[in-house]
Structure formats: structure tokens, C-alpha cells
Amino acid sequence: MIPMVIEVVRIGQRIVRDDRVTTHIALVARAFGATTILMNEVNLEIKETLEKISDTWGGNFSIEFFDSWKPIIRKKKENGFKVVHLTMYGENINEIQSNLKKEENLLIVVGAEKVPREIFKFADYNVGIGCQPHSEISALAILLDRIQDGNQFNKIFLNAKRKIIPTKKGKNVVMNETRD
């Protein structure tokens, strides 16, 4: 079994410096099968970038903004989501991935700078993608892959303007004539 709904929360952002990283977090979340990203830095450019990507390449990925992380995480927990906090201090992914796969709905928390200490308590799982510091983008990608066993790459992104036909050499892109 793999989780049905996966959402991602990005907590904290060092303005300008983190814009590109946050955009990449959102791109990975979308391409690796999450349905939503929630962010506490209102950055309309990131939203526009993701909306353009979805318009061209399909799917219903949504971007939501929030002021304060606590009520968001509380509400998601009340609605049956298990909170997975990505941190190098957490339990090793190799040990915990089979438990994560049994959960129905997951809310994945990724930090920018140091995350508030309380998140460690709020989380149902604190998960380390190894215990060396690296990047929230790679941590998110590896977690999403481990919990979905690669099935995210078979997902169909509906209503796309363009669709790639995987090919050995060159580029094969099919245009959807029903889209303008």
C-alpha cells in the first residue's frame, strides 16, 4: 500500500536567498505526486511559476499560503494526516519507510533554516534521509520516492497541453489539440 494523499509544508524562508529552493521544493512536490504545498512566505512569483508549469504539463497541484504553521498542522492532524518532519536528527528512512507506506494521508514538513523545536513534538515521525546535513530538496525527493516505490512516475497529469513520450534519443512531445 502507498499513501493516498500527500501534502508538503515548507516552514520558514530566507527571503530572496531561498526563493529558488522553495520553487524547487514545490516542483519536486508536484512532480513526485504530492497534491498540495503549503508555504508561510507569500511569494506570488512561486505560485505563478507552478501554475504555468501545471497549465503546460497538467495536473491539479495546489499552492496555499498560511500565516502560522501551528494551526495548519493541528488542523491536518485532526483531519487524519500523519505528520512527517524531515530532519537529519530523525529516525533513519531505511528503518521507518515501511511504516510510512502504511499511512493513508501524509503531511511532510520541510524546513529552511532551523525549524521551531516544537515541530519535533508535533510530528508523528521525525525522519532522517541519512544523518548528514544535505538539502531539503533532495530529502523531499528521496522520501517521496521511498514511500511511493516509484509509482509517482506512472501518475497521469490530467488536462496537459503537452505530454512527453519517453524516448531513447531526442525529444518526443505530443501536443493536446483540445487545449489552446
Ligand X SMILES: C[S@@+](CC[C@H](N)C(=O)[O-])C[C@H]1O[C@@H](n2cnc3c(N)ncnc32)[C@H](O)[C@@H]1O
Question: Sign (positive/negative) of CA torsion 125, 1, 23, 138?
Answer: positive
Distance CA 79, CA 37 (A): 17
Is 133 or 150 the residue whose CB approaches ligand X more closely? 133
Least distance between ligand X and beta carbon 72 (Å)? 16
Closest CB to ligand X among 60 and 135?
Answer: 135
Cell numbers given for 1: 500500500
Smallest distance, ligand X to C-beta of residue 143, A: 8
Nearer to ligand X, 115 or 147 (CB): 115
Task: Give the CA distances from residue 144 to residues 26, 134, 172, in Å, rounded to whole numbers and listed in that order.
Answer: 13, 16, 27
- The CB-of-170 to ligand X minimum distance in angstroms stands at 36
Note the residues at the interface with ligand X (CB under 6 A).
86-89, 110-112, 115, 128-130, 132-134, 136, 139
Nearest to 101 by CA among 59, 150, 52: 150
- d(Cα 143, Cα 32) in Å, to the nearest integer? 10
Tell me the residue nearest to ligand X as measured from the CB: 111
Least spacing, CB of residue 167 vs ligand X, in Å? 34
Comparison of 33 and 111: residue with beta carbon closer to ligand X: 111
